Copies of this chain bind each other. A is one copy, B any other.
Amino acid sequence: MEYQAPERDAQFLLFELFKVQDMWPEIPAFADFSQDLVEAVVSEGGRLASEVIAPTNEVGDQEGCVWEAGEVTTPEAFKGAFAELAQGGWLGLAGNPEYGGQGMPKMLACLVEEMLWAANTSLYLYGTLTVGASLCIDAHGTPEQKSTYLPRMYAGEWCGAMALTEAHAGSDLGIMRTRAEPAADGAYRITGTKIFITGGEHDLAENIIHLVLAKLPDAPGGTRGISLFIVPKFLVNEDGSLGERNSFASGSIEHKMGIRGSATSVMNYDGAIGYLLGEENQGLAAMFTMMNYERLSVGLQGLGAGELAYQQSVSYARDRLQGRSPTGAQNPDGPADSLLVHPDVRRMLMSQRAMTEAGRAFGLFVGMQLDFAKYKGDEVAQARSEVLTPIAKAFLSDSGFDGAVLAQQVFGGHGYIQEWGVEQIVRDVRIAQIYEGTNGIQAFDLIGRKVLRDGGDTLKRLLDEMSQSEVAGDLRGDMDAALDRLMRVTDSLVERTKDDANLPGAVSVDYLNLTGLSIYAWLWARMAAVAGDDDFGKAKRTTAQYFFERLLPRTEGLEKSIMAGTDALMGLDDSQF
């Protein structure tokens, strides 16, 4: 599928909306990143995505992965594209410079990630797990572990994988069974079976570094007894060369609805040698370093898919001649007008566009919090990033899926046919709502751990700050109403949860959607305020207006739904289902 990286929008967000040219010079680690350099990174990332990676997208879906005797062969076209991605240093873009990373801001990485996801979700999955695993090793590893693994992972010579899930326990990690036995050599022996291991086995890199959650023999029960281990496919000799093959292997790969170029393995660890990463029994917290990264990244996956789908549907609508405009023929010499004249087609395109552009701004906003937390030690930003991460994962992936379904609808019957490509986007993006913690889990994390735990304070302070920022005058009233609604609903939840333990879970998804739409209202009101008077800026303001008129009203129904009790929801006996 053809894909054009949204470079102009990236520039708008960086330099007009968030004004990183004023922000970054005050952060020592970013002081050297000139506007020219940043634009070059975005532009080169866009070129890689559209010219090198995007052409492998459809063929990867058709070819899929092949498992044979524990070895996985990825689609042929993936080899060269992944090598170019790796050799360009893109997997170390935001990595630790001490170990060969480029130390770039997360905001910039967000933009590049979106492009790589859009170009080929299956292919970039091998990349994002590598980036996430290296982030985790950087945060929790010993200096020796860092110097052993990070340079090779930043270079994409070794890939990463994350092994959490077991067959009997999807999101419930406390009942995990994989064991880690301490051995005389100071390492551990890992035994157990994990499922759904993306990139657990493949042929794109010479080594695969698994981060595996397991329980020590004397570990406390539940999630407090989980430790994290580095389990490399090939053991690493002292000189950094590859040694023996570790004793674990892929037992099979899954046949999936989509992301067919991404190999999802059942992994059997059979006394595999593993090295403790971080502290004993603190594995879940350590793994969350990776998971939080992956959650934002999966949100960006949804965003990238949404952008790709939008581009396909615009291009189809432009080329396809069918019917006449309700206001009279616009292409009187042709047999019909283009689909673009039809208001319902406009609705589908504008809805995609409004969600995608706001989503891109939102992803960068979350990236900004992460940058502030990491490079300025900003605790408020850290707390905000924790509130915003589940929203980014779920709201961006839901919007990406909804957008892809809309794009498919624009194609009519062709949208259902494989050769047109858009149905692949729907199949591929669907997983983003499920893995890395289902979107239901994200919503529960938001409401339970992130909002109710501090009585809504962190969120409300953020909303307060948003309401005080400079926004487009004509959108001010509706934006304030949206932020007020979210505050009101949040207060009500804090109160009502005291008497109803079922309430948070009952309304969590509606609440997450309400939060996402309300924040988008702020982002659109801000973007409309800073957009210029050129064509690009005018389109921004028109899209902002569309968002307020046609999408933001959903919040009214969401509020009402959240204000309902849980009696009906919980009312059926198990036998009545």
Q: Is A342's CB within 8 Å of the partner chain B?
A: yes
Which one of A175, A559, A576 has the highest number of Cβ atoms from chain B below 10 Å of its Cβ? Answer: A576
Which one of A195, A196, A427, A568 has the highest number of Cβ atoms from chain B below 10 Å of its Cβ? Answer: A568
A240-273 vs B, Cβ < 8 Å mask (1 yes, 0 no): 0000000000000011111000000000000000
| CB pair A574 B340 closer than 8 Å | yes
Known: A505-B342, A538-B576, A555-B557. A409 touches B571 (CB 8 A): no
| CB pair B434 A535 closer than 8 Å | no
Known: A171-B412, A546-B568. A418 touches B538 (CB 8 A): no
Q: Is A139's CB within 8 Å of the partner chain B?
A: no
Q: Is A560's CB within 8 Å of the partner chain B?
A: yes
The residue that A343 contacts in the complex, of B336, B430, B549, B570, with Cβ under 8 A, is B570
The residue that A256 contacts in the complex, of B338, B348, B416, with Cβ under 8 A, is B416
A contact residues, range: 35 or more
**Nearest Cβ in chain B — how far from A317, in angstroms?**
8
A281-297 vs B, Cβ < 8 Å mask (1 yes, 0 no): 00000000000000000
Q: Is A323's CB within 8 Å of the partner chain B?
A: yes
- Bound complex: CA of A343 vs CA of B423, how far in Å? 32
Q: Is A461's CB within 8 Å of the partner chain B?
A: no
Q: Is A565's CB within 8 Å of the partner chain B?
A: yes
Known: A172-B322, A322-B170, A439-B409. A505 touches B419 (CB 8 A): no
Per the 8 Å Cβ criterion, residues 490-512 of A in contact with B are 501-506, 508-510
By DSSP majority rule, is chain A's interface helix, strand, loop, or mixed?
Answer: helix
The residue that A501 contacts in the complex, of B326, B502, B506, with Cβ under 8 A, is B326
- Tell me which residues across on chain B come within 8 A of A27, comparing CB atoms: none
- Tell me which residues across on chain B come within 8 A of A551, comparing CB atoms: 561
Residue of B nearest to A354 (CB): B568
| CB pair A557 B553 closer than 8 Å | yes
Q: Is A350's CB within 8 Å of the partner chain B?
A: yes
**Nearest Cβ in chain B — how far from A456, in angstroms?**
19
- Tell me which residues across on chain B come within 8 A of A504, comparing CB atoms: 326, 343
Q: Is A318's CB within 8 Å of the partner chain B?
A: yes
When all copies of this chain in the complex are counted, the total is 2
- Tell me which residues across on chain B come within 8 A of A172, comparing CB atoms: 322-323, 336
Per the 8 Å Cβ criterion, residues 521-558 of A in contact with B are 535, 538-539, 542-543, 545-546, 549-551, 553-558
| CB pair B417 A255 closer than 8 Å | yes
A338-353 vs B, Cβ < 8 Å mask (1 yes, 0 no): 1010111111111001
**Nearest Cβ in chain B — how far from A548, in angstroms?**
8
| CB pair A344 B412 closer than 8 Å | no
| CB pair B349 A542 closer than 8 Å | no
| CB pair A561 B550 closer than 8 Å | yes
Known: A509-B344, A566-B343. A549 touches B561 (CB 8 A): yes
13 more A-B residue pairs beyond the given contacts A255-B419, A557-B557, with a C-beta to C-beta distance below 8 A: A170-B320, A175-B336, A318-B574, A343-B508, A345-B440, A346-B506, A347-B569, A350-B568, A412-B438, A413-B435, A539-B572, A542-B568, A546-B568
The 3 closest A-B pairs by CB, nearest first: A343-B505, A549-B564, A553-B560
25 A-B pairs whose Cβ atoms sit less than 8 Å apart in the complex:
A169-B336, A171-B412, A172-B322, A172-B323, A254-B416, A255-B419, A256-B423, A257-B426, A318-B577, A326-B501, A327-B501, A340-B574, A343-B570, A353-B577, A408-B430, A413-B434, A413-B435, A416-B435, A542-B576, A549-B568, A549-B569, A550-B564, A553-B558, A553-B560, A554-B554
Residues of A bordering B, CB below 8 Å: 165, 168-172, 175, 195-196, 254-258, 314, 317-318, 320-323, 326-327, 335-336, 338, 340, 342-350, 353, 405, 408-409, 412-419, 423, 426-427, 430-431, 433-435, 438-440, 443-444, 501-506, 508-510, 535, 538-539, 542-543, 545-546, 549-551, 553-561, 564-577
